[in-house]
Chains A and B, each alone.
Chain A
């Protein structure tokens, strides 16, 4: 039965191929309005990197303020103009920078930039399809993302400043322009941008799901899929189920802001003005927001974990340990991620019983997460590890995933959350477990699949340098924040100089900022390596990492339809590395099983 379905997919993909052969490219159809998944992947990557530079740069600016509050830095005036008179940052601008930094990193870099790039690049290539189910929708999805990026960047330049109510944009703060300047035009543009973003993300995700389900090549059963594809598939499903909820939350916020409705507003007097709104609840917004917001964390993380599974197995020259448990844990995490959103709301005044329920579901997630971490570590055990830059970043990911995951056990416990909620302890936790892990996964992906994307190799030594500087500064930035959090320092504070109890934390803040600036500058090595290698790097061989997966059977030169002849047929899972009975330490998925060979 399964075979029949695959045959069908195979034929279908074959037809596509013939269409493509009559396709003539010009500059516009090749580089701009491309419908080829490989080009769209590169568009996502470069746009995501551009946004990432903005986001990281912002964090360096506001870290300056946190380390030396109130001191004058001419560079701040250069970049922020009237928002940093005499080089001292305005508190509203501080909040705006934090807000846009968070929004950009979470959505633009680690959702679109990460999942958009690698889902697009790898889904067709690794499942053996000519392209996405719909190349046209794929193009549209990128252009929605591009448009939303433009709007977000434009919002930085409006008179009253960009949105500044935090990336969580809780009303009433975000709903009332009287409450802070950033809630004016800046917030409107934030909402427009996010609406476009969500539209693009939904279109993309639907396309990924349909492609994985329908277009797998002959022999590529679900249990032979590389874990990357499993991760992308589940991520797309999470996106489709949760982003619409954020969209509705945002729409209701738009109504409250401009049409006088009261979904989130009740009994408010702001800036001396009594509002007429009655009957709404700000808590409703929080529920809707976090119904997306928590799965969003896994939308960011799962692709990074998928990439890591692939990179760790390939470079340990060993099968990924516990393939089925890995799939099971992805599914378990995805399911649980929908019923834990309340852990962001323990102290909003919701019923304490609900707090207990959310504590329970939240701590359950630690189990499949622990399974993943242990399985990665066991994959290294008795391996023959080849330290490519991608492998270094993947090991870095395992380390940060463990370090950040563990503090989740503190924050997920409603009783403990009482005193650390919204402090720097939280900032440390989510940056390490989500920010660092996902960024490391993204770097691993770029280093590993750069040859597939650009047909050239990146410079390894620069990669090493980039990794170590990044890894050390990453811990240097975020680990000390646990301590400032346990000292009670709230997040989103423009300065901690107003409270003598925080005076002691200033040295720590200076250390953090030093590492932040160092780590930020280290990223220039990566950017240089990326663009240099794109044009001048050595030509890539077809299968530079001796990998088993299908993308390495496609020619280095990109062609429409991916394979010049028939699509390869798959005979085994993706992880036959160092299998006894073979001379080489890898057995590509296209190699038929020998007589009497056990599958796995």
Chain B
């Protein structure tokens, strides 16, 4: 039945198209030109459409900024996140300025110089000075952005440690995360997927004395203000540990260890008090109530951001940033490897 319907719709569409073509051809015959020839009227119409589109593009761009900027990530919850956001804002302003400058010029020219039979174009084939200018100006702007970007990058990737960072391993597998805290000695015991056996689910080496006090957990808790050095491992395929709220991300690659360090600066509780976040949560909860879903309170979350298989879209772990005391309390409740194995 639906097959026949589709067929009928298709046939009708083709017939309509044929009629349209006939009309186009007949009307140009009436004007004694071939249909394919571009008339002054065409140029005029298309030129105006170009101008209209240029306006529309810029207008809808600002409409989107206004409507959708609030859905983007709220303020960063890490120390370097602030630098990241500053760099992002400045780079964005530069490219937005270019966008709202160049696009209108393009569409304006298209409209302004729409052709007519009685006009002739200006023969103008090059101008070294102009070309020099628009090579140098972007070069200078880019040089600034490159230097700014590289400085930020090297500060993020090579953090100076006044305080010894807390070491946490994040272990990825299809399709879940596991965390391992380094314990009293703040040193992770050796681990390898080859050592996985029964309850030893992430392959900790039980003979390594550094590993006995490690704690394996299903949630990440972080004390606010302490640098945390994350070490990443993967059991099977490449995953990517993505902490959008902290502006942090690193791939988890089987056969090697990668790392990323950041300092959380805003506790989960504080973040929930932030005005912007509260507005966001209110909007989200409105949507959720309509759908009959449970209400949501703001949480930091770890996502997988490298295609890793069927449930890639649902590989998450909760992250809680809290005071040093709350953190210490939570940690003592977790069992050590020595206790579990």
Q: A414-B149, A416-B91 are in contact. Are A498 and B314 (CB under 8 A)?
A: yes
B232: A residues at CB distance < 8 A: 349
User: Are B249 and A318 in touch, CB under 8 angstroms?
Assistant: no
User: Are B194 and A267 in touch, CB under 8 angstroms?
Assistant: yes
Cα(A280)–Cα(B253), bound, Å = 11
Flag the segment in B115-123, B181-189, B211-219, B331-339 that touches A: B115-123
Q: Is A371 an interface residue (CB 8 A)?
A: yes
Q: Which of B43, B57, B87, B139 contacts A385 (CB 8 A)?
A: B43
Cα(A363)–Cα(B126), bound, Å = 26
Q: Is A543 an interface residue (CB 8 A)?
A: no
Cα(A494)–Cα(B313), bound, Å = 6
Give per-residue flags for A63-89: 1 if the beta carbon is below 8 A from chain B beta carbons, else 0.
000000000001000100000000000
B119: A residues at CB distance < 8 A: 384
In chain A, positions 482-513 with a C-beta closer than 8 Å to chain B are 483-484, 486-488, 490, 492-496, 498-501, 503-506, 508
User: Are B287 and A528 in touch, CB under 8 angstroms?
Assistant: no
Give per-residue flags for A410-438: 1 if the beta carbon is below 8 A from chain B beta carbons, else 0.
10011110110111000000000000000
User: Are A421 and B158 in touch, CB under 8 angstroms?
Assistant: no
Q: Is A251 an interface residue (CB 8 A)?
A: no
Give per-residue flags for A328-361: 1 if the beta carbon is below 8 A from chain B beta carbons, else 0.
0000000000000000000111001001100110
User: Are B307 and A492 in touch, CB under 8 angstroms?
Assistant: yes
B69: A residues at CB distance < 8 A: 483
Q: Is A380 an interface residue (CB 8 A)?
A: yes
Flag the segment in B13-21, B162-170, B320-328 that touches A: B13-21
Cα(A580)–Cα(B247), bound, Å = 59
Q: Is B30 an interface residue (CB 8 A)?
A: no
Closest A residue to B303 by CB, please name it. A490
User: Are A321 and B121 in touch, CB under 8 angstroms?
Assistant: no
* Chain B contact patch, size range: 35 or more
A388: B residues at CB distance < 8 A: 38
User: Are A348 and B251 in touch, CB under 8 angstroms?
Assistant: yes
Q: Which of A172, A352, A483 contacts B68 (CB 8 A)?
A: A483
* Chain A contact patch, size range: 35 or more
Cα(A483)–Cα(B20), bound, Å = 39
Q: Is B102 an interface residue (CB 8 A)?
A: yes
Beyond A95-B307, A480-B68, A524-B13, 12 extra complex contacts between A and B, CB < 8 Å? A267-B192, A271-B174, A359-B153, A375-B131, A377-B106, A383-B122, A399-B107, A416-B88, A419-B249, A421-B305, A462-B21, A486-B72
Q: List 30 A-B contacts (CB under 8 A).
A: A95-B309, A165-B307, A166-B307, A265-B255, A268-B254, A269-B193, A269-B194, A279-B255, A283-B256, A322-B131, A347-B251, A363-B142, A363-B146, A367-B135, A378-B130, A383-B113, A384-B113, A384-B115, A387-B38, A395-B107, A399-B106, A418-B247, A422-B242, A457-B36, A459-B21, A459-B25, A500-B288, A503-B288, A504-B71, A528-B14
Residues on A lying within 8 angstroms of B by beta carbon are: 74, 78, 90-92, 95, 165-166, 170, 172-173, 176, 179-180, 265-271, 274, 279-283, 316-325, 347-349, 352, 355-356, 359-360, 363-364, 366-367, 370-371, 373-375, 377-378, 380-388, 392, 395, 398-399, 402-403, 406-407, 409-410, 413-416, 418-419, 421-423, 457-462, 464, 468, 471-472, 475, 479-480, 483-484, 486-488, 490, 492-496, 498-501, 503-506, 508, 524-525, 528, 532, 538, 544, 575, 577-580, 585, 600
